[in-house]
Amino acid sequence: MNKQQEIDILSHLISIKSVNDHEAAVADYIESLFKPYEDQGVKIERVSYAPDRDNLIVTIGEGERMLGFSGHEDVVAPGDLSQWNSDPFKATIKDNMLYGRGASDMKSGLAALIAAMLDMLENHHVPGKIRLLCTVGEETGEYGAAQLTKLGYADNLAGLVIAEPGNDMHEIGYTSKGIIDYIVTSKGKGAHSSQPQKGINAIDHLIDFAVQVKPLMAKFDKVNPVLGPLTHVQSVFNGGEQINSVPAKAVMKGNIRTIPEYPNQVVFDTLNGLVDQLNQKPGYDLTIEYSFPEDAMPGDKDAPLIKLIEHVHDELFDGPIEPKGQAGASDGSEFLHAKGDFAIALIGPGNNTQHQSNECVDLDVYHQSIKFYQQLAEEFFAQP
């Protein structure tokens, strides 16, 4: 595959407006690229999450051990279009940088994995069994990865490489924080404020929760050497209807970033426990819900896969590679629940323009990353 063909794949992916939806068109396109190789034993599977939202799984090669590659098909919204110097859904090249929504996060990474695999097929040299997992909904809750994990598509992998961007291939993510978004709703009873005894003040009860949850979360005081401490932010507080009414309803939201030292279940138990305890009091009616929680990804920077990535990186790129912990969750947080114990690494082309206007990727880095994934597969299967 030549460089223009590599750019064409990335440009085509960017032209598909898979903004938190419509990943089926991305799956269609990737499927069309692999279809011509079906006589080489390429297996293409689709798993629909919702109408117009399809995960895609492409498996090539043969062997006992299976290496996983993964990328998400969705992108975030382009935001204020006036802040863009070009159409976010038309790849535009200037000074060897390619601009467009997803240029960093992570259509370049996905395109590089695809190009690497197509190259192997084109040259009739696939070094082992490789499975590409293309997911929906990473940006809004990793539910595509959750679905594929549940169905067993990531079971017993020998290693998984997710092509999320990291400082132009100079960062490797191997551990990340988990996320718990919680929503507490307090129900009371409305009444005129001149007769408060006739009502039940939902805000008062919610404030009790808001005040008491803080010291409970602060008790999780271990500090992970790479990721730092568990953090807790009470981020939204709404309640009441008007100034002369006893509020009948109040809602608060909080965001917790967990660390491997505290599995999410321990935090859930603590939050649920506080809600149960407050509900013992007369008139209290609190409920708590969680939205797409993710466990922390423990990771081991000395795992053979991480060491191999560092080695291949040194062969192909100038400058050092930095093992990193990440404060945000990725599809890795879901895939780690698959059967078997395998290392997960995040490394891909792209930079810190992700989720911003004028998102871009350095084309030299993009082309080199394709060689990197090929070389990585080659050396991965050469190892015993």
Q: Which residues bind Zn ion (CB under 5 A)?
A: 105-106, 164
Cα 289 from Cα 275, distance rounded (Å) = 11
Residue closer to Zn ion, measured from CB, 106 or 344: 106
- CA 101/CA 107 separation, integer angstroms: 8
Residue nearer to Zn ion on the CB measure, 144 or 199: 144
CB of 307 to Zn ion, least distance (A): 24
Whose Cβ is closer to Zn ion: residue 6's or residue 164's?
Answer: 164
Strands 66-72 vs 159-162: parallel, antiparallel or unpaired = parallel
Q: How far apart are the C-alpha atoms of 339 and 335, rounded to whole Å?
A: 9
- Give, for 298, the enclosing helix (H) or strand (E): none
Look at residues 204, 193, 191 and name the one whose alpha carbon lies nearest to residue 250. 204
Least Å distance, CB 269 to Zn ion, is 30
Task: Tell me which of 6, 138, 334, 359 is the catalytic residue.
Answer: 138
The pairing of beta strand 178-187 with beta strand 249-258 = antiparallel
CB nearer Zn ion, residue 23 or residue 105: 105
Q: How far is the CB of 220 from Zn ion (least distance, A)?
A: 27
CB of 293 to Zn ion, least distance (A): 18
Going from the C-alpha of 3 to that of each of 6, 117, 178, 217, 260, the distances in angstroms are 5, 15, 38, 51, 41
- Residue closer to Zn ion by CB (options 126, 163) is 163
* Closest listed residue to residue 233, CA positions, set 253, 215, 251: 253
Which residues, including other chains, have CB under 8 Å from residue 326's CB and lie 6 or more apart? 173, 175, 176, 177, 227, 346
Least Cβ distance, residue 137 to Zn ion (angstroms): 11
How many residues are recorded in the chain?
A: 384
| DSSP string of 130-167, one letter each residue | EEEEEES-TTTT-HHHHHHHHTTTTTT-SEEEE----T
3-state secondary structure of 191: strand
Smallest gap from Cβ 346 to Zn ion, in A, equals: 9
Write down the least CB distance from residue 145 to Zn ion, Å.
11
Per the listing, tokens 């990737």 go with 30
Q: Quickly count: other Cβ atoms within 10 Å of residue 228's Cβ.
A: 13
Q: Angle 367-370-374 (CA atoms, 0-180°, nearest 5)?
A: 150
Question: Exactly one of 74, 105, 294, 295 is catalytic; which is it?
Answer: 74
Nearest residue (beta carbon) to Zn ion: 105
Identify the DSSP state of 213. H
Active site residue 269: no
137 or 188, CB closer to Zn ion? 137
For Zn ion, the closer CB: 140 or 193: 140
Confirm whether 74 is a catalytic residue: yes
The sign of the torsion formed by the CA atoms of 310, 315, 317, 320 equals: positive
Of the pair 106, 267, the CB lying nearest Zn ion is at 106
**CB 102, min distance to Zn ion, A:** 9
Query: Nearest CA to 299 among 329, 266, 269?
Result: 329
C-alpha Rg value of the chain to the nearest Å: 24
Half-sphere exposure of 38 (CA within 13 A, CB side): 8
Query: Catalytic amino acids?
Result: 74, 138
